[in-house]
Amino acid sequence: MGSGSSVNVNYKYSLQKSENAFKAAVLIQQWYRRHVARLEMRRRCTWRIFQSIEYSCEQDQIKLHNFFSYLMDQFTPSSSKERDFISRMFISGESYKEAELEKYCDYESIEVPDSYTGPHLSFPLLPDHATALLEAFQQKQQLHARYVLNLLHETRKHLKQLPNISHVSTCYSEEVTVCGDLHGQLDDLFLIFYKNGLPSPSKSYVFNGDFVDRGKQSLEILVILFTFLLIYPKEVHLNRGNHEDHMVNLRYGFTKEVMQKYKVHGKKILRMFQNVFCWLPLATLIDQKVLIIHGGISDTTDLEMLEKIQRDKFISVLRLKKRKESSRKPQIEAVNGESEAGTDAAGNEAAPRLSLQPQSAQAPNTANRLEFSRWLRQTVQEQIDTCRRLMDISESEPEELTYSSVVSLKDVDEPCWTRQEEWKQVLDILWSDPMPQEGCRENKVRGGGCYFGPDVTEKFLDKYSLQFLIRSHECKQEGYEFCHNRKVLTIFSASNYYEIGSNRGAYVKLGPDLIPHFVQYQANKTAHMLTMTQRISRVEESAFRALREKLFAHTSALITAFRSYDGDNTGKITLSNWATAVESVLRLGLPWRMLRPQLVRSTEDGMLEYKSWLDDLAMEQRSQEHIQSSLLEVIYRNRSNLETIFRIIDRDHSGLISFEEFQQTWKLFSSHMNIELTDDGINDLVRSIDFNKDGNIDFNEFLEAFRLVKQRPS
């Protein structure tokens, strides 16, 4: 008793207290770490969703090819209207010699009104012009069309002098900064300039392609980049990306952006851009040691060939159609006459053509269906041939002879590549992706380029005595990522690419030691203020919305799949079978079991009533109840392709097509997709769209009406 024991009691008490505190700490830490782990899993799953949806979008291009093949091979137009319609899809009209380009896209006659408050450009450009432009764009002003066109003309002149592969040396400027995809996100460019400084004689930049599409300020980015290019030609280098391609622009937003911003002169501006994009260099080499290309390489990439080809031949590298398998020999044999463009599927012979000059848009005015079909096949055949050689014929310079004749005129010593081989070189550079496995295989997901393995990289670097590759083309969560034993660096500069908070952007700096230093950023104030949980929730919401739309778009196929697991016709299936069925239909390679709680809310005894689940999905779409659901499904599933087709039809880029054209498109499409569509069905469809004027349909509105996913705020 006495103080001794009370000390003991106190001691015991405090000992127990600290033991308790210790145990408590362990529990809290354990519990918290679980929470964090779940967040991390959610984050990664969300990422997966976005990536798989993005790549499956690119497969739409393949579906488009199939649609065109279908039109070519199987569809016989039943009226002259239909004939005209189809022929318009396949025949491009205009040729552009240098002089014609100047004339058509002339800017001098464009007056700049006194009321214009934006920046004025005069040539040669000075640093002040760049500053003025940056300030103007920050204040959301628009550069006058005249200056845009002038800038484009000057840019084209400059680019024409550049070699296919730019050479940069770090001994002139201390460091080179390399930026990746920007995709119209001007805020990211501003952030880069803010953090890193503007281009200048002491600050070199390489921009690695994909300046446009998806984001809403592609135009401004191009104007700024081209301006700096002209002011500091030695310090600023631009590489072409796969989005610097008008076929891609039709689908992914650049065309739309230009037409919206420049209603009067938009078409000219677009034409000029086409003729500027094709002159962008294909690659940049730093100190002969680091190669920068937009996409990647393949096992056949040949730098010597790349240096020598005429890069402006490839206005677009996208093929319009994949040829049916036949014993076609490579193009080089075309020297002997185009008679190989002989028999097509129906056994009709096409007349041999010796020149690939553009055809005038004159369909034979005959009611004879057979005649027409034959003519159509011939013309389309040629179109396909030229597309296959990847030369957009409408843009060629006529003083250049056809490839076949060029070959016969060249010296025997000169390397004789086929157009096919050249095309593949360019395609691979712009579209390929690295893969972890060894080897090199076709990139079926994107529909172009290759997947190349670490062995391909190794061999390539070895062959040309290079240290590593820098490429872009793929979004990375941290803005950059190494692969292939740090021999390939992906750099991606568009932050928040999928959604606010989805990823950081980054740029990389290289000094004479060629050791990469990275700077990351995220161009959105909101993103910084959000907690990790909020950021993840937000991105997640967006991803799941997109995913639910995809599911809805495959309703019929899903029902069939579910039914196959529901032999007794109970209307229910297990969650496990749900996951298997969904993957078999959507083929997105997603972890469905992990995603399930977000997609399937209510179950009974672990069983899902699939019909009502699908109905719930359908309910989420907007006000289109009066349209039959199967039709709706088709629209959703094919929206991206429909949009592209509309844009192709809409030659003057007005955003409007006539009701008849709309009907035609729809009919063609639905016969290809094997949908039963009554005239009533079409009328219902049309009634749901606002008619603008004179029976024209604003197809932008039409497409908007069927858009589930919220537009990203600009």
User: How far apart are CB 600 and another protein at their closest, in Å?
Assistant: 11
User: Helix, strand, or coil here: 699?
Assistant: helix
Which CB atom, from 287 or from 458, has the smaller least distance to another protein?
458
Q: Any idea what DSSP says for residue 203?
A: B
Strand positions, DSSP E, 287-386: 290-292
User: How far apart are CB 19 and another protein at their closest, in Å?
Assistant: 7
Say which of 129, 183, 237, 243 is annotated catalytic.
Answer: 243
Residue 491 region by backbone torsions, left for phi larger than 0, else alpha for psi between -120 and 50, else beta:
beta
Backbone angles phi, psi at 540, to 5 degrees: -60, -45
**The pairing of beta strand 607-609 with beta strand 488-491:** unpaired
Which CB atom, from 438 or from 690, has the smaller least distance to another protein?
438
Q: Whose structure tokens read 């778009």? A: 553
**Which two three-digit tokens encode residue 590?**
């997603």
User: Helix, strand, or coil here: 109?
Assistant: coil
- The neighbouring-strand residues paired with 521 are 505
CB-CB contact of 81 with 660 (8 Å): yes
Which CB atom, from 31 or from 115, has the smaller least distance to another protein?
31
- Name the nearest CA neighbour of 498 among 554, 547, 451: 547
Rounded Cα distance, 538 and 542, in Å = 6
User: How far apart are CB 34 and another protein at their closest, in Å?
Assistant: 5
Q: Any idea what DSSP says for residue 498?
A: S
Q: Whose structure tokens read 């040669």? A: 124
User: Helix, strand, or coil here: 708?
Assistant: coil
User: Helix, strand, or coil here: 572?
Assistant: strand
User: How far apart are CB 492 and another protein at their closest, in Å?
Assistant: 16
**Which two three-digit tokens encode residue 311?**
């890069």
Residue 48, judged by CB atoms within 10 A of its CB (0-12, 13-18, 19+), counts as middle
Q: Any idea what DSSP says for residue 655?
A: S
One-letter amino acid of 599: L
Which CB atom, from 38 or from 157, has the smaller least distance to another protein?
38
Q: What sections of 59-144 are H helices per DSSP?
A: 60-73, 80-90, 98-104, 127-138
Rounded Cα distance, 258 and 216, in Å = 10
**The pairing of beta strand 696-698 with beta strand 236-238:** unpaired
Which CB atom, from 435 or from 631, has the smaller least distance to another protein?
435
Rounded Cα distance, 484 and 222, in Å = 32
User: How far apart are CB 638 and another protein at their closest, in Å?
Assistant: 30
Per CB under 8 A, residues contacting another protein are: 19-38, 40-42, 44-45, 48, 436-437, 531-533, 565, 573-574, 576-577, 579, 591-594, 597-598, 605-607
User: Helix, strand, or coil here: 556?
Assistant: helix
Which CB atom, from 33 or from 234, has the smaller least distance to another protein?
33
Give CA torsion, residues 75, 79, 85, 89, to 10 deg. 30
Cα–Cα distances in angstroms (integers) from residue 690 to residues 161, 259, 569, 640, 706, in the given order:
49, 20, 42, 20, 13
Q: What share of the chain is helix, strand, coil (3-state, %, to 5)?
A: 50, 10, 40
Q: Is the peptide bond before 330 cis (omega within 30 degrees of 0)?
A: no
User: How far apart are CB 23 and another protein at their closest, in Å?
Assistant: 5
CB-CB contact of 452 with 324 (8 Å): no
User: How far apart are CB 585 and another protein at their closest, in Å?
Assistant: 17
User: How far apart are CB 591 and another protein at their closest, in Å?
Assistant: 4
User: How far apart are CB 188 and another protein at their closest, in Å?
Assistant: 25
Radius of gyration of the chain (CA): 29
User: How far apart are CB 157 and another protein at their closest, in Å?
Assistant: 46
Cα–Cα distances in angstroms (integers) from residue 97 to residues 104, 105, 265, 275, 394, in the given order:
10, 12, 20, 11, 10
Which CB atom, from 537 or from 629, has the smaller least distance to another protein?
537
Cα–Cα distances in angstroms (integers) from residue 29 to residues 19, 42, 117, 171, 670, in the given order:
15, 20, 60, 52, 58
User: How far apart are CB 35 and another protein at their closest, in Å?
Assistant: 6
The total number of residues written for the chain in this structure: 714
CB-CB contact of 241 with 208 (8 Å): yes
Which CB atom, from 116 or from 544, has the smaller least distance to another protein?
544
**243 annotated active-site:** yes
User: How far apart are CB 55 and another protein at their closest, in Å?
Assistant: 14
Catalytic residue list: 243
